[in-house]
Structure 1
Amino acid sequence: MLPILCQEIEMSKKRLIFRWYFIVLGYFSCLAAYAQERTPLIIGVAYQAGSVLVHSPKIRHLQGVKPNGVEINLQYQTTGTKFWHQLYKYPRIGISFIAFDYQEPILGKSVAASIYINKFVYHRVQDQLSVRLGSGLAYFSNHFDWRVNATNNVISAPLNAVIQFRAEYERMLSQKFSLVLAAGINHYSNGGNAKPNLGINIGTLSLGLNYYSHRSFEPLIQAWPPPENKLSFTISSSAGIKQRNDFDTLTYTVKSIALSAMQQLNPKSTLLVGLEGFYDPSLLPRRNWDPRVKPGTSPDIKRVALNFGHELALGKLGFGTYVGWYAYRPYKSDAPFYQRLETRYPLTRNIYLAAGLKLHDLIKADIIEYRLGFRFWRKNRP
């Protein structure tokens, strides 16, 4: 029986390698096709030396863990075909694949895919300095399991969100190749969908090589659109799933409904002010066991908040940063303020989808929210 099982495992490994071979082959075939069309593409390969950053006393057992990683990325140099390209000084848009070996049985290995923007802050013919920000999804081979991996209190589920930030220095070696040095931080977390979820931050130093399909391009310059200062109103609803703590294995669906007004200041920036109501059933068991609650009382768990924030437009995408204050909060279990990072994409002029991370105390992830909204524009006066 054991030899047959071993043969099955070996066959599974071969099939997996076979599939990845064709995926990688197809990936680079697409790159070759793009390069022939004279699209400004950059292919990069880099080695990453990492170190786990201990951001809480609860993860001191991971101090000294130094993962090693490899990154493959593809970047597209924007040329001004869209008006927002020139707004941001012709940044690069890329997709990155990063694999880490943590050299620690608690964490195992991870692979991540993310989409990013790379914006120049200093640029000359031979060298340039840029900052890069991206987000995506990551898979961890090892995660929390009270039976076999109880000390992994940073990653509680196989699938996680990843946020990447780094600064890059690039030096041209020839017309086709450049050397890249970078320092950055990778953050992995599931946003509270499962517990424990302290998240993990990895500081990285990278050394890589970039290949250019062609380097020179003539940026297009488009006329600025006339100022509109558009005012719009939205109504939206969100939902997300969270786990209360390590010992409560149930999951709870958190819902919200929001009304807001949005004032566009310019093609980049829009301000928002709104009113939002929350219903979080995970507060019920917490309230029932809370020693601060007076015996015989049951404070209302519903919440109503005032929020305001800013949305940065990047083409059709909107990246919002918001702060909210709970004006109505009879059961006071968390901080009176919350923060939200949200990405919005319009399906039509009046319907949009959004996904965001809600936090308390800036660093404590509360929930990942998925939002459907309707946007109504104020009619222009004749």
Structure 2
Amino acid sequence: MRLSPLIFLLLISATAAGSSLVDSTDGRYGFEARLTYGFLVAHRPNLRPLQERHLRSIEFSLLVPTDGQRGWQQDFAFPEKGLQLAFFDLGNAERLGLGVALYPFLDFPLAGQGQWKWRLRYGMGLGYVQRNFDPEVNYKNTAIGSKLNGVIHFDLRVRKRFGRGALEGGLGITHYSNGATAMPNLGINLAAAHFGYLQYFGTKSPKHHIQLLRVRSGFWATAFASASWKEIYPPLGRKYLAASVSGDLFYVLSNKVDAVLGADLFYDQSLRVRMEATEKSPQPGSTNLRPGVHTGLQVLVGKLGLLFNLGYYPYTRFQEDGRYFHRIGFRYYFPRLIAVMNLKTHYARADFVEWGIGWRFRSTSKTP
């Protein structure tokens, strides 16, 4: 997604002004309900027919405040963890129908004074679209080719506290994509304003304000392998294997952020097919392999790493994708193993999802 740099900048700036003056959490847990009103973003001209009317949704969230017992909670000014369930009227009953999204999220305080706070919510999970593409009965839905999809959500909003309740209002984006596992996959982007009410319950917990003794520094490294499948045009065709092997060298910038430099080798079984379809006289040596190099940043939230990468193909026979690729995703760090999920894209067009497992190499610096 093109909004990834903005998400990253907001995440690393999560240092809510005045949060050190608060001695306890707002409660043990909280419930939120909110209403949204917005529109489907036609990021390609052929998506404009889907913009029949404005979209609406009702959303419910469970939130759990953090108390700073773990170092990352203090680094991010005591964020909240949660689970959100959203029901969308997508604004086009015939071609899109209803949508559902379910995703865990982290809710970060950014800045504010007194009872007013700016906050950022960032989540990834699963989504359902009632009416996906069908060549006979729904051929005008060129946005999404599957009912089950991945979802990325973020919103920026202001919260006004009073007692154990709060009112919130803001703007957000919800993105549906199946990662090119089914065509078409231009994706559905929902932009909406929202207004909600939040109520906390349960016993308040004292906040830990003394920074835990953990200072990250130096370099560390990981490697992972991934495998997935993808579909190319025309829709409802063959599935092709997509795989990658990647290595990353991380340089610690702070307790929250690492700089990343890495190398990749991608295998895409569909490349030869696409080349033969576009070249009148296919040249010898056509290959499904292409190397890559990448750089980027990782935001560490405990054992969870949120990644934002920009990559380049030093060599590729297939030119229609361009030379640049992007990654947005996450990895979870176990003592030595890592679990990886990335969405690899060419600009705003999904290439494939990297489902992977990897290894974290030993380092003298303290890492996740």
TM-score range, shorter chain: 0.7 to 0.9
Q: 313, 328, 335: which one pairs with 1:326?
A: 313
Which residue does the alignment assign to 1:370? 355
Distance verdict in 2 for CA 1:238–1:74, change over 3 Å? same
Moved more, 295-304 or 111-120: 295-304
Which residue does the alignment assign to 2:339? 353
Q: 46, 54, 73: which one pairs with 2:34?
A: 46
Distance verdict in 2 for CA 1:376–1:149, change over 3 Å? same
Moved more, 302-311 or 241-250: 241-250
* 1:238-279 deviation line (CA, Å, top 9, x unaligned): 112110113461111101112332233332122222221111
- Do the aligned residues in 1 keep the contact of 2:71 with 2:214 (CA within 8 Å)? no
| Bigger share in helix | 1
Matched, 1:62 2:47: no
Distance in 2, matches of 1:241 and 1:295, equals: 24
Which residue does the alignment assign to 1:180? 168
Matched, 1:145 2:131: no
2:94 is matched by which residue type in structure 1?
P
1:109 is matched by which residue type in structure 2?
L
Query: Larger C-alpha radius of gyration, 1 or 2?
Result: 1
Kindly state the Cα deviation for residue 295 of structure 1 after the two structures are TM-superposed: 4.7
SS for the counterpart of 2:181 is: coil
SS for the counterpart of 1:310 is: strand
Distance verdict in 2 for CA 1:210–1:49, change over 3 Å? same
Which residue does the alignment assign to 2:81? 93
Q: 96, 106, 116: which one pairs with 1:117?
A: 106
SS for the counterpart of 2:313 is: strand
* 1:176-226 deviation line (CA, Å, top 9, x unaligned): 322222221111111111101111111112222111116965320233435
Which residue does the alignment assign to 1:289? 277
Which residue does the alignment assign to 1:342? 329
Distance verdict in 2 for CA 1:216–1:350, change over 3 Å? closer
Kindly state the Cα deviation for residue 230 of structure 1 after the two structures are TM-superposed: 4.0
Distance verdict in 2 for CA 1:285–1:376, change over 3 Å? same
Which residue does the alignment assign to 1:170? 159
SS for the counterpart of 1:223 is: coil
Kindly state the Cα deviation for residue 68 of structure 1 after the two structures are TM-superposed: 1.7
More relative contact order, 1 or 2 (CA 8 Å, 6+ apart): 2
Matched, 1:238 2:223: no
- Do the aligned residues in 1 keep the contact of 2:270 with 2:288 (CA within 8 Å)? no
SS for the counterpart of 1:135 is: strand
Question: Is there any run of 5+ residues in structure 2 with no aligned partner, and where?
Answer: 1-25
Kindly state the Cα deviation for residue 102 of structure 1 after the two structures are TM-superposed: 2.6
1:51 is matched by which residue type in structure 2?
F
- Give TM-score, length-normalised by structure 1: 0.83
SS for the counterpart of 1:58 is: helix
- Do the aligned residues in 1 keep the contact of 2:265 with 2:291 (CA within 8 Å)? yes
- Do the aligned residues in 1 keep the contact of 2:74 with 2:211 (CA within 8 Å)? no
SS for the counterpart of 2:109 is: strand
Distance in 1, matches of 2:110 and 2:77, equals: 9
1:199 is matched by which residue type in structure 2?
G
Which residue does the alignment assign to 1:204? 192
Kindly state the Cα deviation for residue 160 of structure 1 after the two structures are TM-superposed: 0.8
SS for the counterpart of 1:276 is: strand
SS for the counterpart of 1:354 is: strand
- Do the aligned residues in 1 keep the contact of 2:167 with 2:197 (CA within 8 Å)? yes
Distance in 2, matches of 1:377 and 1:229, equals: 14
- Do the aligned residues in 1 keep the contact of 2:85 with 2:103 (CA within 8 Å)? yes
SS for the counterpart of 1:106 is: coil
1:297 is matched by which residue type in structure 2?
P
SS for the counterpart of 2:197 is: strand
Distance verdict in 2 for CA 1:271–1:288, change over 3 Å? same
Q: 261, 264, 285: which one pairs with 2:252?
A: 264
Matched, 1:310 2:297: yes
Q: 134, 143, 150: which one pairs with 1:154?
A: 143
SS for the counterpart of 2:73 is: helix
Matched, 1:82 2:70: yes
* 1:319-350 deviation line (CA, Å, top 9, x unaligned): 11112111122332311111111201123x22
Moved more, 156-165 or 261-270: 261-270
* 1:294-329 deviation line (CA, Å, top 9, x unaligned): 455343331111122221100000011112111122
Distance in 1, matches of 2:178 and 2:283, equals: 36
Matched residues, percent identical?
A: 27
How many aligned positions are there?
340
